[in-house]
Chain A
Amino acid sequence: MQNKIAITGMGIVSALGQTVEATKNALTQSKSGISALQNIESIHKGVLQVGEINLTNKALTELLKLHDNNFTRTALLGALAATEAFKNADLASENKKRIGLISATTVGGMDRTERYFKTFESQPEKQKYISSHHAGDSTHKIAEALEIKGFTTTISTACSSSANAIMLGARMLVAGKVDQVLVGGTDALSKFTINGFNSLLLLSDSYCKPFDAARDGLNLGEASAYLVLERAEDVKDKPILAYLSGFANANDAHHQTASSENGEGAFLAMQKALQKAGLQPSQIDYINAHGTATPNNDLSESVALQRIFGDAVPDFSSTKPFTGHTLAAAGAVEAVFSVLALQENLVFPNLHFETKMPETQLTPVTKLKKKELNHVLSNSFGFGGNCSTLLFSKK
């Protein structure tokens, strides 16, 4: 790569907690954040297992010190994690016109829209949520809260969205269009997505079991995570947490929602990312897999892993049993996990795994594992065949 891309800040809020520190503690204690749905008035309340954030909108509003506002839950979560990343990288002293923000979301303001859709006309006090529906709204609110005045945009490629935001941030730095860039994603749980995935029969009745022969679907989650990227040569007086050493985006071009049998899109994304980073497959120490625990994804991804790594598939795990599948935020959440893995020299476990799937005979790491890590690969795939791979390196 022309420029080395340094990661100088991180922020995260998920079912594991409100900060990077809380997240690290939960991961190292193998403590899952999955529990029965509580905060949404839904027929699935108390039944469906989800990765819900244990903060009401009111609590989030207070944490962010907001007064009269039209923040959706997506925007509230986004602002909280973005603020942590912004502070972590000490961006307050930088030129705000040269700081960019690239955020990702799938639901946008749906958490409010679905509540007030039929009463927008009769309840004037809810009309403020009409303009907060579209996907760019949460990004604007985060930029405004942090006074970011550089290039700002929003990406939505289903469950690979924030991986693409991270990738675009790196490319904007290389192109010299920004000096620092906040990249990541935010998605709140909504009845819309819960029922959408439910109608597709993609939800597990209990805890999701990625890569298990008996996996029966995913747990949804809500989260927001952001990283701060800078050109490494420009970073003078702050710690570099890790480097983004490679990235790639490919399309499976197979089906609107299902992954191909040979995992072509995933294979191409991993192959291109390795090439971009100038790394051999044998140099990868840990793979944070997409691993949603749907029968289709995990088989397709396993086949793709074997196509890239042959008989020597490195230590891998899906961390979705910790957080649930956080959709647009997943790529950034798992980017934070990948950096934590490098910093702590830890492979996080693939919870709930019991039996190898017969087709590929792959076994993920099931217990927290300490080992020297230098390069971590993270996969994010989405509806529409969107496949993205990110590579993180210690040096």
Chain B
Amino acid sequence: MKPVYIHSAVAISAQDSFNLEVEFARLSRSVKKVPAIHPIYRDFISPSSLRRMAPVVKMGVAAAKKALQQAELTAPDAIITGSGMGCMEDTEKFLNTLIANNESFLTPTAFIQSTHNTVGAQIALDLKCKGYNTTYVHGSLSFESALLDSQMLIQEEAISVLVGGVDELGTEFVDYVLMLEAKKDNPMQIPFSEGAAFFVLSSEKKKSSVQLIDIQTTTIISEENIIPAVKEFLKSNGLEPSDIDAVFTGNRGDAFDNYYKKIESDLFSEIESVHFKEFSGEYYTASAFGMWMAYQLIANQTSLDRFQTKKSFENVLIYNQENGKNHSFVLLSKC
């Protein structure tokens, strides 16, 4: 396997992660929805384009362009995007007009921008990038699918890949999802949110200090089998649980946190664990924010909530799942 280096990582989220000037704080548990802290987009996108763009496109294009700037790259060989819900705001806009006007007097703008590949397409258009371009829309594994494709592409031929995950809150559908969540016996305790996290991956080391070691997605793992599954994943990369210096998990305060609690208590009780969704809120591609946090920890050797239990952070595991399904393991290491 060729090593895969991470040259840059940029996130827009409910934290001021784009500028990294303010210390992170856990989101309030009493609110249901928290919008992203949006940067000044005109530094990255022309005003005429900005007017048409929904938050998901703005967040995606701005995070992607800043990630390229940080990596000192003008155009990547491939652009791979993950989005669980896609362009919800324009989907809702077109659907509501369709219903209200009984299928008459419709203008196409919202429809055009409602397709799931809009973000990837807008990035390609902006960069005039004619290379490989695809979009994954597989719920909470959307970003991980994109990451896996990127890793494979670097093994095959690509030198540099721009990869990211992005989702927006939208205005209506999310309330129906929240309505269902509230009916559960043990609903989640963190708000819904939105965000984008983009990374430049490369087969060349250059100045990078973080390596993507491996990524694995599995649809079904029972609670009893989560410990062996994590161990097996680490073992396949020549590591033991004791080699891991920090673990980032997608806890939401609901019944399925048992998966995370198990690995924390049985495998990683001695090390720091970060529940990244307490900072980002929940959305299908929140795990991209989790990877962004893990990247910052390794690159800067200091964490964003200022925990400091170890002198050096070499290997970091990110583990996420959705209602006990769609498990993902991502392993990053210092290089």
Contacts and interface: CB of A to CB of B under 8 A. Distances in A.
B116 A251 contact: no
A375 interface: no
Contacts of B107: 199
Interface stretch (A26-34, A343-351, A352-360, A378-386): A378-386
Contact of B117 (A113, A120, A137, A386): A386
Contacts of B22: none
A192 B128 CA distance: 30
B111 A153 contact: no
B95 A113 contact: yes
Given A192-B95, A196-B108, A384-B117, A255 B125 contact: yes
Given A113-B95, A153-B145, A385-B121, A136 B137 contact: yes
A179 B41 CA distance: 45
A139 interface: yes
A164 to B, nearest CB: 5
Interface stretch (B98-106, B202-210, B244-252, B256-264): B98-106
A43 B103 contact: yes
B309 interface: no
Nearest to B96: A117
Interface stretch (A87-95, A127-135, A225-233, A308-316): A127-135
A191 interface: yes
A105 B85 CA distance: 13
Contacts of A67: none
A268 interface: yes
A118 interface: yes
A268 B86 contact: no
A386 B120 CA distance: 10
Interface string B42-64: 00000000000000000000000
A152 B176 contact: no
Interface string A239-257: 0000000000111111111
B234 to A, nearest CB: 18
Given A113-B95, A121-B179, A134-B137, A382 B117 contact: yes
Interface in B135-180: 135-139, 141-142, 145, 149, 152, 155-156, 172-173, 176-177, 179-180
A195 B131 CA distance: 31
A48 to B, nearest CB: 11
A256 B112 contact: yes
A199 B108 contact: yes
Contact of A385 (B106, B114, B133, B149): B133
B8 interface: no
Interface string A190-234: 011001101110000000000000000000000000000000000
B220 interface: yes
A171 to B, nearest CB: 6
Contacts of A131: 177, 180
A249 B115 contact: no
A251 B124 contact: yes
B94 A130 contact: no
A155 interface: yes
B27 interface: no
Interface string B188-216: 00000000000000000000000000000
B279 interface: no
B139 A191 contact: no
A353 B84 CA distance: 41
Interface string A259-273: 000001100100000
A185 B179 CA distance: 31
Nearest to A164: B134
B180 A127 contact: yes
Contacts of A304: none
B320 interface: no
Nearest to A249: B132
Contact of A256 (B102, B125, B137, B141): B125
B284 interface: yes
Q: Pick the most buried of B91, B96, B124, B138: most chain A CB atoms within 10 A of its CB.
A: B138
Interface of B: 79, 84-86, 91, 94-96, 98-99, 102-104, 106-108, 111-118, 120-122, 124-125, 127-139, 141-142, 145, 149, 152, 155-156, 172-173, 176-177, 179-180, 217, 219-220, 284, 325
28 contacts: A105-B137, A118-B99, A120-B176, A130-B173, A134-B137, A134-B284, A139-B138, A154-B138, A154-B145, A156-B86, A156-B116, A172-B152, A192-B98, A196-B94, A196-B108, A196-B112, A200-B111, A250-B131, A251-B79, A251-B121, A251-B129, A251-B133, A252-B130, A256-B113, A257-B112, A383-B112, A384-B133, A386-B121
Nearest 3 pairs of A and B residues by beta carbon = A384-B121, A196-B111, A156-B116
